[in-house]
Structure 1
């Protein structure tokens, strides 16, 4: 379920200290009900790739990403000199000392994203290309009934006018094709892994 930006900005996440110059683009409640100690499972699931470790079954999702990666290859959007440490400085350079010393999961693979830090209820990763510098932020929040669930926010800093136009152009595709399929896949994987979480 899509949430208002204030669902992210009103919470005292550490990411606010690091990415205060980024705009909150999207905030989503994830279909990942759990207990207070289940957040590391969510981090591992997301860090294992799009769809939370399973292939997203939606043909629309796959088509949109195939088009995006093809365009990126043709136009050089994703070359090494467009990423963190080249076009933009990594946000790791902004981390306070306590966030530089995170659990092992903070260094797990996460597709095109590079992990930044992990806390008991918060995880962040970044990516950069010729269009945008972006942060994927996961939080673990109480649901008001004794349980918890994941929350995902996407923060962006577009690369000039081109990046701003690009973000506006892909917005309908994100809402109609990408996020619905991604959230369904995250939910399916979360349910499929329920036994593993119970086993500890």
Structure 2
């Protein structure tokens, strides 16, 4: 379920200190009902490597969970591959256009206490570099010639005595080209990518619980 932006901006997340020049693009409630302290399990359901022992592990003896985009519907896998092909054609993902090149990593903005915490797990085939992992939030970043983006996952009270995951996407477009790119992909994100991703997270969460 899509949430108001305030569901992210009104929380005391550490990511706010690092992203004053970013825009909160989307906030989603994730289909991951649970109890306190289950952020590592959420990262595993999201497809993280090593978040709970190994990527895609449903727990000891559990079946492998699906990763994104491999576990997504055909249309999403097609759009995913088309995006990377277009990136090669137009040079969006060329070396030098991303982190450490055109864009400085948000790690350069870390206060001293964040430098001392673990970065957290990698996200499989998703092009994000982990930034930090705390008890109730994890953040990662990506950048190319169109945009600098942040993926933020958190573990929040659900208002009914339990907890659930929450996902926020923050972006800093690279000028007019980046703004045009974000506008062009927006319909595809809402029609195909987000529903597939949330469905995959939900299936992995239930599979982990069963295991």
| TM norm structure 1 | 0.91
The CA deviation string for residues 25-83 of structure 1, in whole angstroms up to 9 with x for no partner, is 01100011111021111123332489973633311111111110110111111122111
CA distance in 1, matches of 2:45, 2:111: 26
**1:1-200 paired onto structure 2 within 5 Å:** 1-46=1-46, 47-48=48-49, 53=67, 55-103=70-118, 106-110=119-123, 111-195=126-210
Please, what is the CA RMSD of the aligned residues? Answer: 1.8
**Whole-Å separation in 1 of the counterparts to 2:78 and 2:185:** 14
Q: How many residues align?
A: 194
Q: Larger helix proportion, structure 1 or 2?
A: 1
Q: How many Å separate the matches in 2 of 1:194 and 1:98?
A: 34
CA deviation profile, 1:93-114 (whole Å, cap 9, x unmatched): 11112112223xx342223100
Structure 2 spans left out of the alignment, 5+ residues: 50-54, 57-64
| Deviation, structure 1 residue 182 | 0.5
Distance 2:17 2:78 in 1: 36
Query: TM-score normalised to the size of structure 2?
Result: 0.87
